[in-house]
């Protein structure tokens, strides 16, 4: 079975409303501040990945495993206003909580979102023009 490491578009970073748990090991409240957005349905900024609501809904409807969703505060930087006049869709924080070989999504090497064949097939139905997909032989 092949799995795939995904490196989505970096459209911004952690915003000022992001809160960390003890020891800054885990984010407890996520504010993703967009600097730009080129239209992909997945975006990232280490250590988080966001999915549009339509991707979230498709993942839930398909019953993919190893994925949990959490709310995200979406903000726009001053740079966003200069670079982009499009409306942002609704976003969800995509948390890869699964295990390799058992689930459809997990946190792989370097904490990168890693997915199964089944998950990749679903995600490829959406816009991922700037997402680098690297096959990993298991």
Give the tens place of pLDDT for each residue, 1-11: 789 999 999 99
Residue 56 lies in a domain: yes
Residue 99 lies in a domain: yes
Question: Quick check: 138 pLDDT over 70?
Answer: no
The separation between CA 58 and the C-alpha centre of its own chain, rounded to angstroms, equals 14
Q: Is 69 helix (H, G, I), strand (E, B) or coil?
A: strand
Mean pLDDT, residues 69-93 taken together: 95
Residue 138 lies in a domain: no
Q: Which residues are paired to 45 by β-bridges?
A: 48
Question: Quick check: 13 pLDDT over 80?
Answer: yes
Residue 137 lies in a domain: no
Is residue 53 within 8 A of residue 89, CB to CB? The reply is: yes
Range of the domain at 15: 2-132
Residue 98 lies in a domain: yes
For the chain, the domain total comes to 1
pLDDT band with cut points at 50, 70 and 90 for residue 110:
confident
């Amino acid at each position: 079975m092949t799995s795939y490491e995904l490196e989505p578009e970096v459209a911004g970073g952690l915003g000022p409303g992001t809160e960390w748990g003890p020891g800054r090991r885990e984010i407890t409240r996520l504010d993703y501040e967009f600097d730009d957005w080129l239209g992909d349905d997945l975006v990232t900024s280490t250590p988080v990945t966001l999915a549009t609501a339509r991707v979230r809904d498709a993942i839930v409807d398909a019953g993919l495993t190893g994925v949990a969703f959490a709310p995200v505060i979406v903000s726009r930087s001053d740079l966003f206003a200069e670079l982009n006049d499009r409306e942002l869709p609704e976003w969800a924080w995509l948390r890869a909580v699964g295990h390799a070989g058992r689930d459809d999504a997990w946190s792989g090497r370097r904490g990168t979102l890693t997915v199964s064949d089944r998950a990749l097939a679903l995600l490829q139905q959406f816009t991922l023009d700037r997402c680098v997909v690297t096959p990993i032989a298991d």
